[in-house]
Structure 1
Amino acid sequence: MNEIFDLIDDVIRRVDLYKTQELDAEKRRRLDKKVPDGFSNNKMLRISAYVIAYSQNANSDRVRRVLDSGYFDNAFLNFNVEIVGQLNPCDIADTYWEKIKDIYQVHKLFYIVFLARKINRMSRPLSEIFLNSDIPKESLMIKI
């Protein structure tokens, strides 16, 4: 077990040796994040959908352009959980895929709709479950 910790310490030393001011700034930015007020199910769906968009080896720059374009938010009606849960992922693909295809996998549309349906069936808001858990609150914030 000590070997693993020694290897981790070596990685940290190497990073410290080559780190830049930008890395320090990014580290500070991430550590300063706090859970936002009004952490609703709609916000949870949006955050999760963005994470899904970046998943499965999608090109980060291309995904960022898609997300910045607004087409992704439009495709999911600005992430209103009740409405998204009623959507048909095939209809989203038919209407928006050419504009959002840089998220890399069309089945991600299904995952997002399926997640909205799951959130709708929960007895308590998803945000309440996270906020009342033992997860450190700083870990819950993802800036989008």
Structure 2
Amino acid sequence: MKRIWMLCFALVTLFGFFDRAWALRLEGEPISARIVAVEEQDGKMVEVTYNVTVVDAAGYIQGQVAGAEGGTSDYRFGDIKTIVNDLANQVYLVTFHDGKLLKLASARMVTHYTSTLFNCKVSDGTTETEVRLDSGTFKSIEFLLPENSTDKH
């Protein structure tokens, strides 16, 4: 029984290491973003702004269009201008660069196929740090495409 626990521990440690090692392996163009989140600090809920310098444009939000029949669909970050978490109506308001607006129910954000967290690099103005954020705390995200991007509309 002890061997099984040791094997399980080794596998969890190994997969956890690979998750961190490959967290920012980009499949698409790197884009930047501004994230506003609500987090607990010193026992109080406060708004925190993250200046994201690198997130994968191939990352996506996955959800079902509110009120529609059928399954979920994926919408790439590179095509999205803003995502707003409308807590009152329990939907995500997704605005695309072409002006199209969707309301997604039961949505989740995916930046890497092995991670349930939002993997990105943030900057405080002097240093850039790789972080893994809980997208459930996000109030809004504004994706900022590079100036030379051909994805702009």
Q: Normalised by the size of structure 2, how large is the TM-score?
A: 0.26
Q: Which has the higher helix share?
A: 1
Q: Which has the higher strand share?
A: 2
Q: Normalised by the size of structure 1, how large is the TM-score?
A: 0.27
- Return the structure number with greater relative CO, CA threshold 8 A, min gap 6: 1
